[in-house]
Structure 1
C-alpha cells in the first residue's frame, strides 16, 4: 500500500510543471538535440573538399546545404505535427533512421546530385531535434519555460560548436566520405534507443494549465497575422544569419587563412551562441519574448556590420565571437512568443512553421551568399545583403512590440472602465 502510494505520488510529481522530472527531461533533450544537430553543420565543414572533388563552383557546392535546410524545414513542420499527436518519441525514431541512412548514402555518393539528395534525408532527421524538441519541452515548464526552450534549442549550437571540430580533426585521417559514414552509424546507434526515454507525454492537466497562461490577442492583432509576421521575421533574420554561419569556412580559405581557421571560428561563434541562447531565456522569462527578440535582432545587425570592416585573422576571431554572443537567442524567441500568444495544443505545428521559416532563411541565405560571391568575387556584398534582411526583421520585432504595448494599454483602459 505504501509502495503504491509512493508510486502514485512519483507519477504525479512527474506531471507537475517545473518538476525534477521536467529538468531531467530538459537535460536529456539537450543531449539528444546536440547529437542530432550534426546534420546541419557537417556539410559546412566539408564544403571545400566537396567542391574540389566534384569540380563545381561555390554556388553549386552550397546546394547540399540548401537541400539540408529544406529537409530540415520539412522535418520541423511534419514532425512537429506528429509530436502534437503522438509525442516526441516517434519523430526521434524517424530522425535516427533518416539521418543514419542519409549520412551513409552521402558518403558513397558518386556525384554532387546524389550527395545533395542524401542531405534531404539528413535535414529531415535534423528537424526533429530542433522545433519539435522545443515544443515538447515547453509543455513541461511554466515558470521557467523561456529558460527550458532556449536550453533545448542550444543543442543545435552545441552541435555546431563540437561537431565541426570533431569532423575537421577526422578529415585528414578518414576523408570526408568515411567521416560521413561513421557519423551515420553513430546517429542510428544513439538516437533510436534514446527516443524511448522520452516516450512519456504531458498530462491533460499540464496542457490545461499551460493554456490558461496564453495571452491570446495580447499583441493586438489576429493569430493568423501574428503567425504570418513571425514567419516573415524568422525568414529574414536567418537570411542575415546565414552568411557568417554558412560561409565562414570558405571565407577564411579565400582570405588565405585556411578552412581549418574557419572551422575554429564557426565553433567559437556557436559555442558563444550557446551562452547567448541561455541568457536570452532568462531575459525572456523576465521581460517577454518580443522585447528579447528585438534586442537580439538589433545586436545581430550590429555584428554583421563589423564583418564589413574587419577581415584580419585576429579580428575575424573577435567578430565571430561577438556575432555568436549577439545572435544566439534570436531563433528560440519565436518558440517562446508562440507559446506566449498561441494555444499549447498547436505548439508543435505553429512553432514548426515559424522555425521552418528560419531554416528556409538559412537555406536560401546560404545559397544567395554563394551566388553573390560568384557574381562579385568577394563576400562584401553578401554581408551587406545580410544587413538589409536583418533590418526587415528588426522592423517587424519593433512593430510587434509597439502593438503589444498598445493592446495591453487598451485592455487596461477597458478593464478600468
Structure 2
C-alpha cells in the first residue's frame, strides 16, 4: 500500500513559514551592499580618499543585482526557486573573498558578479514571485514580510559591521559576511518549494492575459520601470551617504549608523502598515502617498544641520523606503494576475536597483565636485518629483473593463 503525501497548499502554514524563510534569505543576501555605506570613509582612505570608489562598488552591486534579478526570475520559472538560492549561497562566499582580496578592480568585480549578479539578485525577485503564488487571502501581508527582508538586512548588518570594523577592518569584515551569509543561504534553499499554481501546470506558469491591462504592456512596464528608477535614485542619495554626511556635520560615524538603522527600523514597521493600507485603498495610491512622504524628507535633508533633525528626517525617509518598492510588486500582481511571468518583477527591480546604484554613486560624485551634499539632495528631490508624475500618469489612465485600481 502506497502512502499519499499531501502537499501544502495556498494560504497554508507552510506558506507562512516559507515567507519568513524567504525574508531571512533576502536579509542574508543583501548584507554586502551595506558595507560601503558604513565603511565609506575607511574604504575611501585606501584608495586616495576618493568617496567615489566605495560609491562605485555600491553602484555595481545594486545595478548587477537588478540585472541578475531578471535572469534569476527567469531561471526560477524554468527550474525552481530553490536553484537561484543555491547559486547565491556559493557565490556570496566567493564574492566576500574576491571583493576584499585586492585593489579597486577586485572590489568592483566582487561586488558586480558574485555578490551582485549571482548573489543578492538570486534572493529577492524569485522569492517575491514565488511567495505571491502561495497566497490569496493575505497576499499583501505575505508580500510585506518579503519586502521587510532588505530592511532587516540594512538594520542588522550595519550594526554587525560597526562592531567588527574597529577590530578587523573592512576587508576581513567582508570575508566574515561572505562565509556566514553564503553558508546559511545554501542551507535555507532546501526548504523552498515552487508555488501551487506552478505545480498544477507541470512546473510551468500558464500564459498571461494581457487584454485587461489599462495600457499596452510595454508602455506599462516602461512607466513602472521609470518610476522605480527615479524613486530609488532619490532615496539612495541620503541613505548611502548618511554616515559620511553626519561626519561632515561634526557627528561621529556611530551617529550616522544610528540614522541608517532608524531608516530601516521605520521601514520594517511601515512596510506592514502600508501593505494593510493597500488592501483598502489599493497599491497605486499607497505608492503615490509614499512618493509624497519621500519628497517631504528630501526637502528637509537639503537644509538640516542638527542631529535631532537628521534622526527625525531618517524616520520620515524610512516610511516609504521599502513600502514604495513593495507597491510596484503589488501593482504588477493586481494588473497581470496570478499568471504573471517572473521576469516582469525582475525588470522593475532592475530599474529600481539601477536607481539605487546611480543614486549612491551620484551622491559621491556630486560631493567630490562640490564638497557638499546639498546639491546631491536637491538632485534627489528633482528625481522624486518625476517619480510622482509618473505614478500620477498611471493613476489617471482610464481603466479597462476587468481592471479596478482604486
What is the correspondence of 1:128-147 to structure 2 with a 5 Å cutoff? 128-147=122-141
1:226 pairs with 2:228: no
Give the alignment partner of residue 109 of structure 2, picking from 97, 102, 117.
117
CA distance in 2 between counterparts of 1:228 and 1:128 reads: 23
C-alpha contact 1:250 1:259 (8 A) present in aligned 2: yes
What is the correspondence of 1:250-289 to structure 2 with a 5 Å cutoff? 250-289=244-283
Shift of the alpha carbon at 1:326? 3.5
Shift of the alpha carbon at 1:205? 7.2
C-alpha contact 1:96 1:192 (8 A) present in aligned 2: yes
- 1:77 is matched with which residue? 70
CA distance in 1 between counterparts of 2:156 and 2:189 reads: 22
The CA deviation string for residues 107-163 of structure 1, in whole angstroms up to 9 with x for no partner, is 222x12211111112112111221221111111011222221121121011000111
- 2:40 is matched with which residue? 47
Give the alignment partner of residue 93 of structure 2, picking from 100, 105, 110.
100
Question: Structure 1 pair 207/138, CA: closer, same or farther in 2 (3 Å)?
Answer: farther
1:387 pairs with 2:381: yes
CA distance in 2 between counterparts of 1:59 and 1:177 reads: 18
1:22 pairs with 2:21: no
Q: How many residues were matched structurally?
A: 398
CA distance in 2 between counterparts of 1:307 and 1:141 reads: 39
Q: Secondary structure at the match of 1:407?
A: coil
CA distance in 2 between counterparts of 1:381 and 1:282 reads: 36
C-alpha contact 1:35 1:159 (8 A) present in aligned 2: yes
Give the alignment partner of residue 333 of structure 2, picking from 324, 334, 339.
339
Q: TM-score, normalised by structure 1?
A: 0.90
Question: Structure 1 pair 319/108, CA: closer, same or farther in 2 (3 Å)?
Answer: same
Give the alignment partner of residue 318 of structure 1, picking from 301, 309, 312.
312
The list of structure 1 runs, each at least 4 consecutive aligned residues, that deviate by more than 3 angstroms after superposition, is 203-208, 214-219, 343-347
Question: Structure 1 pair 96/204, CA: closer, same or farther in 2 (3 Å)?
Answer: closer
CA distance in 1 between counterparts of 2:82 and 2:141 reads: 22
| Stretches of structure 1 lacking an aligned partner (at least 5 in a row) | 413-417
CA distance in 2 between counterparts of 1:200 and 1:284 reads: 26
Alignment RMSD: 2.2
1:174 pairs with 2:168: yes
- 1:375 is matched with which residue? 369
Higher helix share: 1
Q: TM-score, normalised by structure 2?
A: 0.92
Question: Structure 1 pair 206/324, CA: closer, same or farther in 2 (3 Å)?
Answer: farther
